[in-house]
């Protein structure tokens, strides 16, 4: 578990108060449906019995979803990373290359459309277009790409970019955040991903991403988007040296914005991966820390409906366990992903495994769309789709070594 020393950026008084609380009483309060504060959340995260914490989180999940509580969802999507050129140089990132680097690249529009076409043929309903902060790409480039995708594939939801990319586009194009968001939305962007949040608390954020916008600026972008009718998700990358109190503070910052806007559809925590980047694994978060955070998120983020567990960074077993610690969504088949995989996320799965994991956890699998609407509920195994070997995570990925790319796929 992360430490909470007075000089580590946490709040000593809050840590002391959390240490003095009766965690059984806090758990009971939460189970009764009362809102808990950040100090109480910290007490639960650091001291509540593991299984009792998971039980309360699962109780709240069941209560929230009522008649559909037995359903756990999954998505079929593709994460198209359009460029690896980036000037932000985050210390945890293994994907980016600086401008003019020999290994730098930016996909052409034709290539992006080809990847969209392949995704549609495999049943994907969502595209996550995300990439580096490339100084050569202004607002017009994004408008052209989004408009072209929507023109050729109107059935695809463009759940793409994130707060950091909005900041970057605003700088390169001399626009306000509101102008960028309005123009992207008009061009075809449906919603923002939670990309770029990492950790929103300033001390650890400065240490891992000193050139990135502040956490408060990221939240400002999201709040502006929500006000303009563009919803988003919220994320958290844990395990880069932040304290326990800073982890809970990240949740508090998100909950405060959600109280004002209601625009976060889901919260998605994941764990830092240590390969090929400047942090080099000096920190990390354990599976137990992750599951505890997941459960506390379900309890504390009482104003966000959906909670997604990260199979990509923690594997199928932890993903399945997450369904008993408050999560209602197992993530996506993810036909392509390059950023986190470049830092060492090697977990792979196919659609059949995704459905099996949900059913083996005692839940009913259902394919969803970007809005978390159920597209296909697999009430029994007879309702499962026929096996397709192409419906697998990382069908295509520049992050995999050639020998690890499945035969017949387009890397």
Q: Locate 154 and state its tokens.
A: 């109107």
Same domain, 110 and 259: yes
Domain interval for residue 349 = 71-404
pLDDT reported for residue 312: 73
Same domain, 44 and 80: no
pLDDT reported for residue 407: 36
pLDDT reported for residue 91: 75
410 located within any domain? no
Same domain, 13 and 103: no
pLDDT reported for residue 265: 98
234 located within any domain? yes
On the CB side of 312, CA atoms within 13 Å amount to 27
CA dist., res. 66 & res. 117, Å (int): 37
129 located within any domain? yes
1 located within any domain? no
Same domain, 155 and 43: no
For the chain, list residues with pLDDT below 70: 3-12, 92, 273-283, 336-348, 394-411
For 171, phi then psi, to 5°, come to -70, -45
CA dist., res. 265 & res. 40, Å (int): 24
Same domain, 84 and 185: yes
Same domain, 237 and 272: yes
3-state secondary structure of 195: strand
CA dist., res. 255 & res. 16, Å (int): 23
Q: Which of 197, 233, 192, 229 is nearest to 213 (CA)?
A: 197
Same domain, 329 and 363: yes
Q: At which of 61, 80, 105 does a domain end?
A: 61
Same domain, 305 and 355: yes
Same domain, 155 and 31: no
Same domain, 77 and 51: no
On the CB side of 316, CA atoms within 13 Å amount to 17
For 329, phi then psi, to 5°, come to -140, 135
Write the DSSP symbol of residue 112. Answer: H
Q: In what order do the strands lie in the sheet with 364-368?
A: 329-332, 71-75, 364-368, 374-377
**Backbone dihedral region for residue 239 (phi beyond 0: left; psi -120 to 50: alpha; all else: beta):** left
411 located within any domain? no
**β partners of residue 267:** 234, 307
Same domain, 392 and 371: yes
Span between the terminal Cα atoms of the chain, in Å:
38
328 located within any domain? yes
263 located within any domain? yes
3-state secondary structure of 119: helix
> Tokens 């923690």 appear where?
314
Report whether 10 contacts 30 (CB < 8 A): no
186 located within any domain? yes
Same domain, 76 and 57: no
Q: At which of 18, 36, 61 does a domain end?
A: 61
Domains identified in the chain, total number: 2
CATH (domain of 177): 3.20.20.70
pLDDT reported for residue 235: 96
Q: At which of 19, 37, 61 does a domain end?
A: 61
């Amino acid at each position: 578990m992360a430490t909470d020393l007075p000089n580590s950026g946490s709040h000593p008084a809050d840590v002391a108060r959390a240490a003095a609380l009766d965690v059984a009483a806090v758990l009971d309060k939460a189970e009764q449906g009362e809102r808990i504060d950040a100090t109480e959340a910290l007490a639960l995260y650091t001291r509540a019995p593991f299984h009792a914490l998971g039980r309360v989180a699962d109780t709240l999940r069941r209560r929230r979803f009522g008649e559909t509580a037995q359903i756990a969802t999954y998505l079929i999507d593709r994460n198209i990373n359009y460029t690896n050129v980036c000037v932000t140089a985050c210390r945890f990132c293994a994907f980016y290359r600086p401008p003019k680097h020999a290994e730098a690249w930016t996909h052409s529009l034709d290539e992006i459309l080809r990847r969209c076409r392949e995704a549609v043929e495999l049943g994907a309903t969502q595209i996550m277009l995300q990439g580096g902060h490339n100084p050569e790409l202004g607002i017009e480039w994004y408008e052209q790409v989004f408009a072209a995708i929507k023109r050729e594939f109107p059935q695809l939801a463009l759940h793409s970019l994130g707060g950091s990319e909005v900041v970057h586009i605003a700088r390169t194009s001399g626009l306000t955040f509101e102008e960028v968001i309005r123009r992207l939305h008009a061009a075809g962007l449906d919603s923002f991903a939670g990309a770029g949040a990492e950790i929103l608390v300033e001390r650890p954020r400065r240490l891992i991403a000193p050139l990135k916008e502040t956490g408060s600026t990221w939240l400002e972008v999201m709040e502006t988007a929500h006000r303009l009718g563009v919803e988003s998700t919220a994320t958290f990358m844990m395990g880069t040296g932040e304290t326990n109190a800073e982890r809970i503070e990240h949740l508090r910052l998100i909950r405060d914005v959600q109280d004002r806007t209601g625009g976060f559809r889901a919260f998605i925590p994941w764990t830092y991966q240590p390969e090929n980047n400047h942090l080099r694994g000096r920190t990390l978060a354990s599976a137990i820390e992750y599951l505890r955070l997941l459960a506390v998120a379900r309890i504390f983020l009482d104003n966000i409906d959906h909670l997604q567990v990260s199979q990509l960074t923690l594997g199928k077993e932890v993903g399945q366990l997450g369904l008993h610690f408050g999560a209602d969504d197992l993530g996506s088949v993810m036909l392509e992903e390059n950023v986190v995989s470049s830092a060492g996320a090697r977990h792979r799965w196919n659609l059949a495994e995704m459905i099996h994991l949900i059913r083996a956890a005692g839940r009913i699998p259902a394919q969803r769309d970007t809005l978390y609407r159920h597209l296909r509920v697999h009430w029994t195994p007879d309702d499962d789709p026929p096996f397709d070997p192409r419906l697998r995570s990382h069908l295509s990925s520049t992050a995999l070594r050639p020998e690890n790319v499945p035969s017949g796929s387009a890397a």
